[in-house]
Structure 1
Amino acid sequence: MFSASIAFVGIFLGFTVLALGLYFGLRLVKLI
């Protein structure tokens, strides 16, 4: 149970970082 929660948090953080990267990447492309 504990290891499963750690894996879920890791996947969630990875997805959040990916979403933020895509969001700021699109903003930078629009600025250029």
Structure 2
Amino acid sequence: MYILISYILFISIFTGLALSLYFGLQSIKLI
């Protein structure tokens, strides 16, 4: 059970980082 929670937490953090990086690159392209 604990492994599942840590796995979901890791995926959510990784997705958040990927999304912020993606939108950051998009905003840089717009400038």
Q: Report the TM-score range of the alignment, normalised by the length of the smaller protein.
A: over 0.9
Shift of 1:26: 0.1
Shift of 1:9: 0.2
What TM-score do you get using the length of structure 1 for normalisation? Answer: 0.92
Question: How many residue pairs align between the two structures?
Answer: 31
Query: What is the RMSD computed on CA atoms of the aligned residues?
Result: 0.3
Taking only the aligned residue pairs, the percentage that are identical comes to 45
Structure 1 unaligned regions, length at least 5: none
What TM-score do you get using the length of structure 2 for normalisation? Answer: 0.94
Structure 2 unaligned regions, length at least 5: none
